[in-house]
Structure formats: structure tokens, C-alpha cells
Amino acid sequence: MPARPTIAVTRWIPDEAVKVLAEAGEVRLSDLDRPLTPEELRSFVAGASAIVSMLHDRIDASVVEAAGPQLAVVANVAVGYDNVDVPALAAREVTVTNTPGVLTDATADLAFGLLLAVTRRLGEGERLLRARQPWSFHLGFLLGSGLQGKTLGIVGLGQIGRAMATRAAAFGLRTVYSGRSEKPDFDGEFVPFDELLRRSDFVSLHCPLTPETRHLIDAAALRAMKRTAYLVNTTRGPVVDEAALADALAAGEIAGAALDVFEREPEVEPRLLERDDVVVMPHLGSATVETRTAMAVLAARNVTSVLAGEAPLTEVTP
């Protein structure tokens, strides 16, 4: 009887996904509750026919070579795949997949929650009470910014950007958007990026991380925004220059920021952590039981499809 293929899973995934993978091969689970170092990753995947990777795993040609010629598929448990060198893997005939669609609502929910948290100063209020500080109601107490009738600028109108726009409409916001192309089926105004920055009261980032979008929000972009504007980032940390953001907040160039992702995760620019006009979350965009399970199961089904000689459900192409 031929040996069953080995499926290397670089970090914990829900049991439902492990069961799917076990139908197709022997599942090798990392027992380290942390990202693997590059050396550990190469050692861990040796002999694997499939790799189930996380967004913190850098999957490049060296990883493929360490796995061996039998490697057929890398299933990234994320929508973004900037951590995977897709052209290098394609050149070695290794299929790459991601997990789009299943985390749209969860991430849009969190993005809008961050918008409410930073504009209504919810974190400040909670910290005040937990510190048992004295307080009393008055008309000037912890005043925030309302949403109704204002403009939300969405950078990158993919599935999550559209879901964010739906939530914005329910709160009485107008939407403008920028991106690679206009979307005729979307009821919102397509504008150049520079105009979006000038006009928006709130800027929400939903573009993928590419060489073109790295530090898209830099010092010049922040200066172009309204002094009363807020920035929300739930896409990838390096889209924002965190040092420039800290400088802009200190100078009063924008009113606040809410971040779920960071340039050098898990590190955060220390100056941002010191500010009450910044809301920070530890990459919780997809963090619901239902969503994270659906992501892992989709990745597992991509693996089982490829190992069975079938087309994957959500393939990434160069």
C-alpha cells in the first residue's frame, strides 16, 4: 500500500479542519504555540505533499525546496497572500490557495466597530472606569464625532470594502472609494486616491498589500487628510507607515486612528500605544469561532482537492 501524503500544518487549526485533512493524508501539526522561525519552518515541512500556512509564515522557494519535489499545494489560511511568493511556487508547479469570502462579514464588522470605538472614544471611557477615576456626566464629557451625513472613504473595494460600505449606509454615511478600477455595479462615487483623502471624514483601508500599497498611507497622505479625519486599518499593517502616523497624530494632522494590523506584528509603534486617540486590536478581524473555522475548513478542502487531482476551490494565480 502506498504511503499516505503528509500534510504539514504550521500552527493550530480547528478540529473540523483537521478531520477534513485526515481524510486525505497524515496530518503533521506543529506543537509550538508561536510562529515558526524560517529554519524551523523549513525543517517542519520536509517531506510534505501539502502545507497549510498562516499569514505569518513566509513561504518562498527555500521552503518549497525544503519540502521536496512531492509538494503539491500550499493552502494559506487568509485572504491575503503577501506572505507567499506565488510566482516562485508557480514556477515549481505548486498550487497556492487562499480563503476569500468566508471572513468578509466578520472583518467588516470589526472595521466598523473600530470606527465607532475611535470616533466615540469608547476605549477612553472604559479605561477611565476600570481605573476607578472620578467622573460625572456633563455636556462636554468625552465628546466624540458623529457619523451621520459624513463621508467614508474606502480604499480598495473588494468584498470586505463593499461590506463596510453596506454598514456605513445603515449609519447614514456617504461613501466614496478608490482602487484599481471603477465598479459600475456599486452605488458609491469612484474618486482618485488623493481626492478621497481630501474629502473623507473617515478613511478605511481594504486594499491588499503589494509593492504599490506598502506605505500607501505615508506622511504626505496623512497631511492630505482633514485634521478632523480618522483612519481605520484592518487590511495589512505595512499599508500604513506607523512612524509617520504617530508623527501626524502628535502634530494634530488627523483626529485619530484605529488599527487591527501592524507593520511588524506583533510589535506596535510604541508612540501609538501611548495615545488615547488611537484604538488598537491584536489582529482580530476574522476572530469569530464561525469565521476562523470556515477559513481553516476551506483551506483543508483546497488541500484535499489538489491531492485528489482535482481543481482547488480558491486558487491564487501569479
Catalytic residue among 167, 215, 283, 315: 283
Strand-pair category, 278-280 with 73-76: unpaired
Phi, psi torsion values for 278, nearest 5 degrees:
-125, 130
Q: 283 an active-site residue?
A: yes
195 given a catalytic annotation: no
Distance (Å, whole) CA 74 – CA 26: 16
Question: Which is catalytic among the residues 11, 28, 121, 236?
Answer: 236
Q: Which of 26, 124, 189, 265 is catalytic?
A: 265
The residue whose grid cell reads 486558487 is 315
Beta bridge partners of 279: 258
Q: For residue 265, indicate whether it is catalytic.
A: yes
Catalytic sites, residue numbers: 236, 265, 283
